[in-house]
Amino acid sequence: MAETHDLELASSSEEDTRAVGERLGKQLRKGDIVLLSGELGAGKTCLTQGIGRGLACAGQVNSPSFVLMNEYAGRETLFHVDLYRIEDVEELDDLGLWDYAERGVLVIEWPERGAELLPGDGLVIELATGGLGARSRRLKFIPRGPRGEELVASFGAA
C-alpha cells in the first residue's frame, strides 16, 4: 500500500487563508474534488474564496449554506457545496454531485455529513483555529488517492 503524505500549513489571517486557497485553486482541474472539514468559523468558506480566485472565477464566492450549492464560472467551473443542512445522506444521491465533479472542480464543506457516499480520490483539508490569535488557522492537507497525492506534492513544492 502506498504511503500518504499529509501537509500542514498555518494561516495568521483570513487573507492568508484565501492566499492558500488561491495557490491550491491554480493547481486544480476539472474532476478534482476537495473536501473541507472543520468546525463552524474554521475558515472553510475563506479557503473556498481563495480557490475561486485561483480558478479565476468572476464574482464573490459565498457560503451556499441555504442553497446547498453555488456555481462559479472561471478557468474551470467551481461547484461549491455545503452539506451542513443535509439530514439524510440519501439526498446526496438525488443531487448527482459526482456529475458536477465531471464538469468542473467540486469543493464540499461538511463532507462528514455524507462521508459514506463521497468518492475516494481527492483532497481532504481539515481546518482548525490556531493558537496565533483569533484569525489564525491550521490547515492539514490529507491526500486520498493518486490525484490527492499529486496535489499535496505539487502544493508542498510550490
What's residue 1's pLDDT?
39
* DSSP symbol at 30: T
What's residue 132's pLDDT?
65
Distance CA 12, CA 87 (A): 34
What global pTM score does this model have? 0.89
Question: At residue 85, does pLDDT exceed 50?
Answer: yes
Cα angle for residues 103, 108, 109 (degrees, 5° grid): 160
Q: What is the pLDDT of residues 12-66, one digit of tens each?
A: 899 999 999 999 999 999 999 999 999 988 999 999 999 999 999 988 898 876 7
